[in-house]
Structure formats: structure tokens, C-alpha cells
Structure 1
Amino acid sequence: MEDKELIQITLGLLSPWFVKDIDLNTSKRRMDIYLDFSKGTKFSCPVCNKLSELHDTKKKVWRHLDFFHYETYLHARVPRTKCNEHGVKLVNVPWTRQNTGFTLFFEALIVAISKEMTVSAIAEMINIHEDSVWRILTHYVNKAAAKMDLSGLDTIGVDEISVKKGHSYVTLFYDLNKSRIIHIENGKKRSVFKKFREYLSKKIDPDNIKYISMDMYPAFKGGAREYFPNAKIVYDKFHIVKMMNDAIDKVRRSEYQSNKDLGKTRFMWLKNPENLSDREIAKIQSIKDLDTKTAKAYKFKLALQRLWEIKNMDVAREYIEKWHYWGTHSNIKEVITLAKMIKRNSHGILESIKGNISNGVVEGLNNKIKTAFKRSYGLKTEVYRNKMIFLMAGKLSLPTRC
């Protein structure tokens, strides 16, 4: 088999295209492949797809996947057709998309490795500019996000995350059933729900949303009620237990001032008893023996978690009432404050139990997103940051031709 025939097969070239010549420069570690088309070939107008006369050709070059350790480039005379209806147009060629200097295989490789590497590392490894990497990612992420199917969407999760110092936040909207990001808005005001509804309106009827799972942030509650009046607002176990953990930590830090035994125990109180090591169990037991407020608050957390084991709503409602009574009589201000908040929002908590709705999936996605932030530095940070979030957590249908 001749070299040209071998390269033509590996490129997947079909008639009328063929490999005309190959130039391998070992000193520059570069391979140049020259493509051409059969004489007399007619091409379709890229607008109307009608066969048209050839007007002229335009020389183009594209970066392709490396051939072993040789940078590889494709060269071709790209025809321009003269259509009676649309005039002179550059035809589409099968190995690339228009207005880019890279082949489809090369771009697919960049998209794939961008999930594992920083953009700067990719640019350095394959010897292209960072802006080129970002442009490729932006094209494919935008294209895939626009095609995202939301037809079965009825349960969404909402969470805000800090994106930089100075109380700068973005609000993320999740499809909880499919564990994916579906929309991003800057800020965490109630207006983010208005913008989210406008986005949904282009794809589905926003009134199809049955449940919105979130924390008890007032702006979120107000926005959900105003712009999704038919949806039930639910407060899931993940957020409630997180609030309880925060309360325990406030108690611990306050009590540490007079009891240094509580030093270096922060993460122990986040765990359930079955996940504690033998050393941690002994440590917690010794702190309990000192009759500390921290240990007492930890018991309230364990009691609160048992709420989600109850499936009968009447029993669950009664359990919240009892827990509220115990909490407000605990003589621990952080637990008292939380107990009152849980009582005020008990309807949403019960709805989450009834519908078996959890925002727990959000934690895993947020970890991916935090990784994405490290990969979004540089020019146009906000725009590229959002592209990376979708790339990492959007479960997009992306090219896999590499």
C-alpha cells in the first residue's frame, strides 16, 4: 500500500477528494499533507445544496492530529461555487467546519482533554494559542447547550456558589433527575429566577416545573414563588443538615475559647457515628463526658437526620414538632435559631421527604465546578468560566471523533 493511499484511508477521505502529495520534514518535525479534488467535479452550494459551477478555489491550511511526534497540517484548494441564487460561496469540506484552522479530529481531541487539563497546559502541549482552545470549546459547548433536551424536566435544584472574593456569586440551576447543570446566572437575587424562566420558555413550558429544591435563602424563595407559582418549593436533607453542621461549628468555635479539647475536632462533627474512626469515637466520647454544648448540638443533628427515615407524613410532621420543642429548649442559641427556622419552613421539608427529592447530587457537581474555575482563568474569564462549567457538569453531547 502506498503512503498516499494509507494517509487517505486514515483521514477517511472519499471521492472526489484524494491525497495529492505528502511532505515530511524531519528537522522541523512537521508533516504537510496536500489534498485535491478530481478534475471536473461539481460542488453543492453550501446554502441551498444545489450543484453549481466552480467559480474558483481558495488555498486553506488546517492543523490536524499529530502523526506520532510530527505536527501535521492539511492543505487544500477549497472550491468556491457560483450559485445563481446565492452567488459565490466557499463550499463545506468534510474534514473541518468553516472559519477555523483546525480539523474536526483535532478539535474533538481538544474538547476531550479539556475535561482533564487546564487550557494553558493544552495550549502549551499542542503548540497553539490559548485563545484558539477557548474558541473551540466555546463553539462546541454553545452548540451542545443549545440542543440540550429539557422536554422531561420537572424537578430543578438551585444553588449559589462564590466565584471570587468580594461576595461575587453565580446561581446554578440543575436538572436533579439527570444530574446536570442546565443554566447559569450571575448574582443571587430573586431576578435570576425571572431570567431562568425566560430561558426555559424557549425550550419548554416553565409551568411544567413541579418542584424547586433550594436552601432557605429569602431571595430564592421570593423569586421561585413569583416566577414559578405552580411549583412546590422544597428544602432537602442536604441543605438542612449543612445548616445543622454550620450551627455545630459555631457552637464549637465559641466553646473552644474556654475548652481547648475542642481543638482540631471540626471535621469529626460533620460525620455520622458509623463513619468515625476508633480514635475519633474515643475523642467524641471524652468530649461528651465533659458535658459540652458542642456534643449536645451533635446529638440534635443525629436526631434531626432521623427525620428522613420517616415515610409517613403525619408522623414526620409530629417529629418536626417534637424536634422543634427540644431545640428551642436546648439553651444553645445556634440550635434555637435553627429550630425556629426549620419550624417556619417545615412544609417545604415535608414536601422533599414526600417527593423523595434531594439536592445531594449538587455536591458532586459543585466539586466538578470548583475544578472548572481553576481552568477558566485568563481573558474573558466570566464567559469562559461558564463554558467550562457546562463542559464539566452539563452532560453535553460533544464530538468524539478523535
Structure 2
Amino acid sequence: GHTRAFDQMVSWLAVHTAKSAVSQLMRISWRTVGALVARVWADTGAAVDRLEGLRRIGIDEISYKKGHRYLTVVVDHDTGWLVWASPGKSAATLNAFFDLLGDERAAKITHVSADGADWITTVIRRRCPNAVRCADAFHVVAWATDAVDRVRRQAWNEATGRGAGRRGVAVGTARQLKNTRWALWKNPENLTDAQQAKLAWIAKTHPRLHRAWALKEGLRLVFTLAKTSPTAAVEALDRWIGWARRSRIDIFIDLQRRVTRHRDQIIAAITHGLSNGRIESVNAKIRLITRMAFGFHSSEALIAMAMLSLGGHRPELPRP
């Protein structure tokens, strides 16, 4: 019941403003806005081959709705455009992308960046045999940040008497430990004076926890060095693996095994200077689209909005 020009007008407005505002301005329902956007993207997507010429891609997943609802997204590193998205977070979901891409074009992919998820690695090895697999630096450092937080929780449990075979200490000490999360998480150059004091207190009273923080910073330093000297970064990575192995902190011993398992992918990321930075930027914009729309009734509407906004083919205003 709508003209093509009306569809284009609604889609243009939806890309540039909140979905609820479009609904009120154009006197149509919330569901109708999503349906029109999906229809316009179906026409636009059918008119262009957005997968042509792909050489370096990034793969990631993003939570878009409560209840563990995920989208798997693929971004072109060279253009920064979102080229594909689909509901789900599994090997079957990613295989659907490569089915659409085709074996001939998949063989031309030279680099793939992603986190360390095994399901992504399995699909890439089978469908992109010529591609260099690069582990995303942000996710690798996030592994270490999570490990520090687990060591912090262990220390807090011991301080409160919840650790196996340990007696609780003063309540004030436990409270101080509980409030150290940001001092341990943040980069040293971003710490406030109070957080720096908290870190100094940890160094004096909890050397094991401070050693865990130092290990986290040591892994972050690897990727800082990669920006200026890839060779030095690789050497620092190998030294870090040895340091973590001898740390006598079980959580970091397990982490170094994980890092060792992904060592080739991490070195590839350091050597080729590839990360999921572009993909994280696209994910942030998808979250913004979701907030502007105050939620979507279907993943199809969200994907259509994301593709029109971030896929390099924005709708144009209809000519009078």
C-alpha cells in the first residue's frame, strides 16, 4: 500500500533519525517502519554485489537483544563497510556467509581477523584455505583482563574466609579488595590518583594479585610494541609466555596455554597489523542503531537498518 518513493523517504529518515520519530512523522506504525526498511534493503542488496572484491575481512558477533540473541557480522577491512550479517553465533551461521560468497571468491580472501572462538577458526580453515588467520588484539588482552579479575575474586574470597582452608581477615581489607576492580582493569596511564594509590596498596598487601596485574600489562605491552616494532613484539610475546608459565598463578598458567595455542594467529596479527578495530566500531554503531530504534521486533529489520546505514549503500531521498 506504499509507493516506492514513500519507502525511500521512510528509509532515509530511519537511517538519519530515531525509528519512533519516523513513525510519528510519517503517520505509520513502528512495525511498518521496520518492514519498509527491510523491503528497501532487499531491493538495494539485490542490485549490488557487496561481496565482490573481498580480500581482508573481519568476523565478530554482537548481542542485539536480551536472551542471548546474537548477530554474526562480516566487515571489509579495506572499505570499513558491513558486508554481511545474520542471526546466530555458530559455525552453521558463518558457513551460510561462505555459501553466499562461493568457493572461488573465498579462495581469494587473504586475511581474516576474529577473536579466538574455535567455531570461527574451524570454518576459516575449511572455507578459506589461503587466508592468514589473525587473532584480534583487543580480545587477547581481554583474556588477560578477565584472568586478573578471577585472581582478584580469589583474593577476596580468601579475605572473607570463603577460600578453601583459609580464615577470614578484617572486613575492611575485604572491602578494599572488592573496590580494586577498576584500578586493576584500567590502563596505568588512565588511572586516577585514588586508583594509583589502590594499586600501590595491592603491591604491598597482595603480591600475587599485583603479579597478575603485571602479567596483564605485559601482554598489553606486546600489542603496544607491535605498532612500532613487530619483531620486538614477537620477542616480548615469547618472553611473556615463559613468564606466565613460571608465575605460579594457575589462572595465568592456563591463559598462557591458550595464548600458546593461538600464538601463530597472534603473530600474524602483529606482523600484518590487522585487528578487529573496524569491526568493533561497526558493532558500536549497530548498538546505537538499536538504541535509536528503541528495540526491533525482528532481526531482519535490524540487519536491514545496519546494512543501509553501514554497508556503503545509504538510501537517497526520492526526487520530486
- 2:222 paired with 1:222: no
Alignment of 1:243 with 2:143, yes or no, is: yes
TM-score by length of 2: 0.83
1:161 matches 2:62: yes
Q: Secondary structure at the match of 1:205?
A: helix
Gap regions ≥5 residues in structure 1: 1-98
> Cα–Cα, structure 1 residues 116 and 149, in superposed 2: closer, same or farther, change >3 Å?
closer
Is the Cα–Cα contact under 8 Å of residues 141 and 396 in structure 1 kept in the other structure?
A: no
- 1:353, distance to aligned residue in structure 2 (A): 0.9
Q: Give 2:213's aligned residue.
A: 298
1:216–1:235 Cα contact (<8 Å) kept: yes
Q: Is the 8 A contact 1:192 1:223 kept in 2?
A: no
| Counterparts in 2 of 1:255 and 1:179: CA distance versus 1, 3 Å | farther
User: Does the 8 Å CA contact 1:376/1:388 hold for their aligned counterparts?
Assistant: no
Which whole-Å CA distance do the structure 1 matches of 2:287 and 2:11 have between them? Answer: 19
Give the partner amino acid of 1:283: K
Fraction of identical pairs, as percent: 27
1:369 aligns with 2:286: yes
Aligned to 1:52: none
Deviations along 1:324-368, one digit per CA (max 9) or x if unpaired, are 111122122221111111112111111111111011222222122
User: Which amino acid is 2:316 matched to?
Assistant: P
Look up the match of 1:100: 2
**TM superposition shift of 1:153:** 2.0
Q: Which has the higher helix share?
A: 2
Query: What is the match of residue 169 of structure 2?
Result: none
After superposition, give the CA deviation of every residue in 1:239-287 in whole Å (9 maximum; x if it has no partner).
1112112222222233233232132333343322112222322222222
Aligned counterpart, 2:242: 325
Superposed CA RMSD:
2.6
Aligned mates of 2:272, 2:20 — CA distance in 1: 44
How far residue 228 of structure 1 moved from its aligned partner, in angstroms, is 0.9
Equivalent position SS for 2:179: coil
Kept in 2: contact 1:193–1:224 (CA 8 A): no
Q: Which amino acid aligns with 1:115?
A: V
Q: Does 1:391 align with 2:308?
A: yes
The residue matched to 2:299 in structure 1 has which SS? helix
- The partner residue of 1:338 within 255, 259, 264 is 255
Counterpart selection for 2:86 from 185, 190, 197? 185
Partner of 1:207: 107
The residue type equivalent to 1:330 in the other structure is S
Deviations 1:365-388 (A, max 9, x none): 212222333427454x12212212
Question: Are the equivalent residues in 2 in contact too, given 1:369–1:392 (CA < 8 A)?
Answer: no
- Distance in 1 separating the partners of 2:183 and 2:279: 23
1:3-402 equivalences in 2 (<5 Å): 100-101=2-3, 104=5, 107-146=7-46, 147=48, 149-201=50-102, 205-257=105-157, 258=159, 259-308=174-223, 309-310=225-226, 315-374=232-291, 375=293, 377=295, 379=297, 381-401=298-318
- On the 8 A contact 2:135/2:266 being kept in 1, the answer is yes
Length-normalised TM-score, structure 1: 0.67
Distance 1:373 1:229 in 2: 35
**Aligned counterpart, 1:28:** none
Deviates more, 1:118-127 or 1:334-343: 118-127
Answer 1 or 2: higher relative contact order, Cα 8 Å, separation at least 6: 2
Consecutive unaligned residues in structure 2, runs of 5 or more = 160-173
Name the count of aligned residue pairs. 300
Match of 2:165 in 1: none
What secondary structure, in the 3-state scheme, does the structure 1 residue paired with 2:252 have? helix
State how far apart, in whole Å, the 2-side matches of 1:322 and 1:175 are: 33
What's the secondary structure of 1:216's corresponding residue? coil
